[in-house]
Amino acid sequence: MNKFTKGLGACMTAIIVASGAMAEPADDTLVINEDIEIVTRTAAPAHLSDVMDEVMSGWLFRGTETRAMEMDDFDNPGMIFVEKAEDMWNTADGSEGKSCADCHGASSEMAGVRPVYPKYVEAAGEVRTMEMAINDCRENRMGAEKWKYIGNEMVNMTALMASVSRGMPVNVAIDGPAQSTWEQGKDIYYTRFGQLELSCANCHEDNYGNMIRADHLSQGQINGFPAYRLKNTKLNAVQDRFKGCIRDTRAETFAPGSAEFVALELYVGSRGNGLSVEGPSVRN
Amino acid sequence: MKVSIIALAASVGFAATAYAADVVPTAVSYTDGAVEMSLTGMAGNPEEGANIVGDKGLGNCVACHEVSALPDIAFQGMIGPALDGAGDRWSESELRGIVANAKMMFEGTMMPSFYKDTGYIRPGNAYTGKAADDTLGPLLSAQQVEDVVAYLATLKD
């Protein structure tokens, strides 16, 4: 750490200590490309009524410059990966010689799909994520190799699927055949894992808005995933973030694509019902 | 780096017979959340305690607590109460109990238990994301807990 950053750090601390308002979520509205209106705060879904009144996108917890990057697709580094996925969408692969577009049409035709995932898929008899649906297509319709769950191709494609649904409200079903998986996800959310004995709720339900060291804790909403993080300068899959969060409790974490993380994604997704799909978002 | 420091501290604590006098985590006796007896039988070193409180790879107490007496440490958290005046508010026994296992005094508190080595759900091998092995020790050694307690006792309004 050089003198400048040290000095800056001390100065920042002084500001944070001096002004509690600094830790409040931003009073700001998000419109992407002066066109797509994003709901970044709204009434909490009914199932959260005993713990919070309002749900807020992680966008509100980031700094001014980071927020601005998401307001224009030319400034959003995540959109480069959306373009890569768009090329892939239109490229044939596998033994059937089909592209995504051959069955689905233009990628924009997929608007409305992202907001309801994860969802219970009748034919599969289980709750599936977007990634699982994409790999099912690749394996069983295209005769192509499955992608790695959080590999680049997969993350890029989920970014494309999110981008065409931007502005639409997250609307994950939690009842009916999805309910038992949702309950499992809820249990995981409130379990205090690892040697630090921290649950998702400790930080993201009980302490959002507060600073934990240099991090401004958000509600841990996932409507913005995949997220381009300035920290690692790449698109990050939601379950990769789950993996990192649980690892940081000094726990044996779960694997992306595991039954536990599918359940957790369903549950956390449902905590953001009503927020707009925002991916690919820009975050710290 | 934080991984290796804590792993080293833990392994030293277990390997060295010089520490045989330490009260092991499972034998610590709590009374209303306080721990009367020193975990080491030796006085803590407040200077080392200040270092542990502020060091990201050690106690990292400032991640959640503000400490005005450590103005050089950037980005102090606001999750728990500020530690200013802790030495006035709490006795040494209470401070020891809170650092060792705050859940004994404050049921359900978010604060990690720094002197405990059992009863975890999916304990990991430090921050690797992998399962813990049989070298899993407490987050701080007995002496480190005493050092932190000695430092906190100096924080008077």
Axis-axis angle for helices B46-54, B142-153 (nearest 10): 100
Q: Are A60 and A40 in contact (CB under 8 A)?
A: yes
B129: left (phi over 0), alpha (psi -120 to 50) or beta: left
Handedness of CA A202, A205, A208, A210 (dihedral sign): negative
CA distance B39 to chain A (A): 20
- State how beta strands A215-216 and A227-229 pair: unpaired
What pLDDT score does B38 carry?
A: 97
| Chain B residues inside the 8 Å CB shell of A247 | 124, 127-129
- State how beta strands A211-212 and A126-128 pair: unpaired
CATH code matching the domain that covers B2-154, chosen among 3.90.25.10, 1.10.760.10, 3.30.420.10, 3.90.470.10? 1.10.760.10
Give the predicted TM-score (pTM) of the model: 0.90
Handedness of CA A104, A107, A108, A111 (dihedral sign): positive
Quick: pLDDT tens for B35-94.
999 999 999 999 999 999 999 999 999 999 999 999 999 999 999 999 999 999 999 999
B33: left (phi over 0), alpha (psi -120 to 50) or beta: left
**What is the residue-level pLDDT of chain A in tens, covering all 284 positions?**
344 444 444 444 444 443 343 578 999 999 999 999 999 999 999 999 999 999 999 999 999 999 999 999 999 999 999 999 999 999 999 999 999 999 999 999 999 999 999 999 999 999 999 999 999 999 999 999 999 999 999 999 999 999 999 999 999 999 999 999 999 999 999 999 999 999 999 999 999 999 999 999 999 999 999 999 999 999 999 999 999 999 999 999 999 999 999 999 999 999 999 999 999 999 99
DSSP per-residue letters across B69-93: T-TTS-----SS---TTHHHHS-HH
Say how far apart CA A78 and CA A23 lie, in whole Å: 26
Question: What is the distance in angstroms between the CA of the first residue and the CA of the last residue of chain B?
Answer: 34
Residue A157: Cβ within 10 Å count: 28
Residue B9 has pLDDT above 70, yes or no: no
Residue B94: Cβ within 10 Å count: 20
Q: Burial-class residue B156 by CB neighbours within 10 Å (0-12, 13-18, 19+).
A: exposed
Query: Which residue's entry shows tokens 């959306």?
Result: A82
Which among A191, A202, A247 is the nearest to B127, CB-wise? Answer: A247
Inform me whether the C-beta atom of residue B129 falls under 8 Å from chain A C-beta atoms: yes
The secondary element (H helix, E strand) that includes residue A182 is helix A179-189
C-alpha distances (whole Å) from A243 to each of A8, A254, B27, B125 are 31, 6, 34, 14
Say whether the peptide bond before residue A169 is cis (omega within 30 degrees of 0): no
Question: What is the distance in angstroms between the CA of the first residue and the CA of the last residue of chain A?
Answer: 19
What amino acid occupies position A24? E
Q: Which two tokens stand for residue B64?
A: 């959640």
Interface test with A, best of B122, B128, B134, B136 (most A CBs within 10 A): B122
Residue B60 to residue A197, Cβ atoms within 8 A: no
Which among A16, A214, A250 is the nearest to B124, CB-wise? Answer: A250
Quick: pLDDT tens for A136-194.
999 999 999 999 999 999 999 999 999 999 999 999 999 999 999 999 999 999 999 99
Say how far apart CA A91 and CA A97 lie, in whole Å: 9
- The residues spanned by each domain of chain B are 2-154
The catalytic site residues of A sit at 245
SS3 state of residue A5 = helix
What pLDDT score does B4 carry?
A: 46
Please give the backbone phi and psi of residue A235, each rounded to the nearest 5 degrees, phi first: -75, 135
The closest of A196, A126, A134, A122 to A159, measured between CA atoms, is A134
The closest of A82, A151, A142 to A110, measured between CA atoms, is A82
Q: Are A182 and A190 in contact (CB under 8 A)?
A: no
Say how far apart CA B36 and CA B104 lie, in whole Å: 14
> Binning pLDDT at 50, 70 and 90, where does residue B20 land?
low
- Closest-CA residue of B relative to A253 is B129
Cα within 13 Å of Cα(B119), Cβ side = 13
The closest of A273, A261, A53, A260 to A174, measured between CA atoms, is A273
Report the complex ipTM: 0.88
What pLDDT score does B157 carry?
A: 87
Inform me whether the C-beta atom of residue B80 falls under 8 Å from chain A C-beta atoms: no
The closest of B97, B122, B128, B132 to B111, measured between CA atoms, is B97
What lies within 8 Å, CB to CB, of A202 at 6+ separation is A192, B110
Please give the backbone phi and psi of residue A34, each rounded to the nearest 5 degrees, phi first: 55, 30
Q: Burial-class residue B105 by CB neighbours within 10 Å (0-12, 13-18, 19+).
A: middle
What pLDDT score does B39 carry?
A: 98
The secondary element (H helix, E strand) that includes residue A200 is helix A200-204
Residue B60 to residue A213, Cβ atoms within 8 A: yes
What pLDDT score does B144 carry?
A: 98
